[in-house]
Structure formats: structure tokens, C-alpha cells
């Protein structure tokens, strides 16, 4: 490559950078696009025809790279910069998936309880009713509420910690530290 071509490429850079920014709408992505366009132009300098406009050739290279990225993003989805997302709070995907699986397992275990035990779990554990309130609602003594809840909790615990789970997986009890 001659010094003349090198100087012409350098003189095109500010305009190419503005063009790349206009395409991407982002300074960092625009700079990456310029760098990639320069690398491609240098690696394929033999394809450039002397006597033609070097700036037009480089603009076309940048535009083609940008279009290729747009097409790739449609296939792959949006690319997110992890470093830019560090400060953002959100749900941990693994935690959400584990919670969903746990909820499904508990719901399945609840479905296997006898109706009177399921009613007690729903009233006391889900709705937050006291034993006395649950007893009044169902029309049984408080002792019956307590024994039904105890049996329901034992059954749910056994169902969650046996082979009733997919692939023999077990739920681990979380302890406060």
C-alpha cells in the first residue's frame, strides 16, 4: 500500500466516523463499525480500483458491515452489553426458573392432598387466616385444623423430597443464616 492511499484513508476517517454514527446511532458502535470497515478495506485493498473514489468504497464497506449486523441481530436477537447492565437491578434468571419449578412442584403436591387438608393449607398458609379463623370458616375445632395442617405439611414435605419430582430431584430447604 502506498503512502498516498494511506493518507487518503486517514483523511476519510472523520467523515466515515460521522457516517457510522448516523447508521448506528451510538458512538461506541459507530467507532467499532469504522474500525471494522478499515480492517476490511485494508485486507481487501486489492479489490479497490485505482482511479475510483476511495471514500465511496469505504462508505460502501461500512454500510455492508452494518447491514450484515442488522440481519444477524434479527436472527440472534438484541445484543446487550453486560457491563452496561451491571448497575441495573432485575431478576436473576436462574432464581426465577428455580422459583417457577418450586411453585409447580408445590402446586402438584397440593393437588394430591385430600380436600380438607388442601382447604386448611389454603386458608392458613396462603390466605393467612389464623387457626381460630380457619376453624370458624370450616366449622371444625381448632385442634382439627392443627392436625389437618400438620398432616398436610408432612405430606407436602414428603412429596417434594421424594422421587415424585422430575428425575428424582429434591427441593432443598433454605435455612436462614
Q: Does 173 have pLDDT greater than 50?
A: no
**pLDDT the model gives residue 158:** 92
CA distance 41 to 62: 9
pLDDT band at 151 (very low <50, low <70, confident <90, very high): very high
Render pLDDT for 86-123 as a digit per residue (tens, 0 to 9): 666 666 788 888 888 888 888 888 888 887 888 888 88
Render pLDDT for 21-59 as a digit per residue (tens, 0 to 9): 888 888 899 999 999 999 998 888 888 888 888 888 888
pLDDT, average across residues 149-176: 69
Q: What's the full length of the chain, in residues? A: 177
Among the listed residues 171, 127, 164, the one whose alpha carbon sits nearest the alpha carbon of residue 145: 127
**pLDDT the model gives residue 65:** 92
DSSP category for residue 167: G
Q: Does 165 have pLDDT greater than 60?
A: no
Residue 149: count other Cβ atoms within 10 Å of its Cβ: 18
pTM above 0.75, yes or no: no
CA distance 52 to 60: 13
Q: Name all domains of the chain by residue range, CATH numbers in brackets.
A: 3-81 (1.10.1740.10), 93-168 (1.10.10.10)
Q: How far is CA 109 from the centre of its chain?
A: 29
Q: In the chain, what's the furthest Cα-to-Cα distance?
A: 99
Among the listed residues 129, 123, 121, the one whose alpha carbon sits nearest the alpha carbon of residue 148: 121
Q: Is residue 110 within 8 Å of 118, Cβ to Cβ?
A: yes
**pLDDT the model gives residue 86:** 66
**pLDDT the model gives residue 1:** 62
Instruction: Measure the CA dihedral 64/65/68/69, to 10°.
Output: -140
**pLDDT the model gives residue 79:** 62
Window from 36-45, 60-69, 145-154, 167-176 with minimum mean pLDDT: 167-176
Among the listed residues 24, 42, 22, 34, the one whose alpha carbon sits nearest the alpha carbon of residue 62: 34
Render pLDDT for 56-85 as a digit per residue (tens, 0 to 9): 888 889 988 988 888 888 787 666 667 766
Residue spans of alpha helices (H) in 2-141: 3-24, 27-43, 54-76, 82-85, 93-111, 115-120, 131-138
Instruction: Name the percent of the chain in helix, strand, coil, to the closest 5.
Output: 75, 0, 25
Amino acid at each position: 500500500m502506498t503512502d498516498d492511499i494511506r493518507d487518503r484513508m486517514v483523511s476519510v476517517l472523520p467523515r466515515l466516523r460521522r457516517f457510522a454514527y448516523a447508521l448506528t446511532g451510538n458512538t461506541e458502535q459507530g467507532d467499532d463499525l469504522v474500525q471494522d470497515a478499515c480492517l476490511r478495506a485494508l485486507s481487501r485493498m486489492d479489490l479497490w480500483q485505482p482511479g475510483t473514489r476511495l471514500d465511496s468504497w469505504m462508505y460502501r464497506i461500512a454500510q455492508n458491515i452494518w447491514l450484515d449486523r442488522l440481519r444477524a441481530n434479527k436472527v440472534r436477537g438484541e445484543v446487550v452489553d453486560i457491563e452496561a447492565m451491571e448497575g441495573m437491578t432485575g431478576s436473576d434468571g436462574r432464581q426465577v426458573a428455580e422459583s417457577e419449578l418450586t411453585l409447580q412442584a408445590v402446586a402438584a403436591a397440593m393437588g394430591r392432598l385430600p380436600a380438607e387438608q388442601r382447604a386448611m393449607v389454603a386458608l392458613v398458609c396462603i390466605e393467612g387466616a389464623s387457626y381460630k379463623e380457619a376453624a370458624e370458616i370450616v366449622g371444625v375445632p381448632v385442634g382439627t385444623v392443627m392436625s389437618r395442617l400438620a398432616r398436610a405439611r408432612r405430606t407436602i414435605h414428603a412429596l417434594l423430597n421424594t422421587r415424585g419430582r422430575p428425575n428424582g430431584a429434591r427441593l432443598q430447604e433454605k435455612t436462614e443464616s
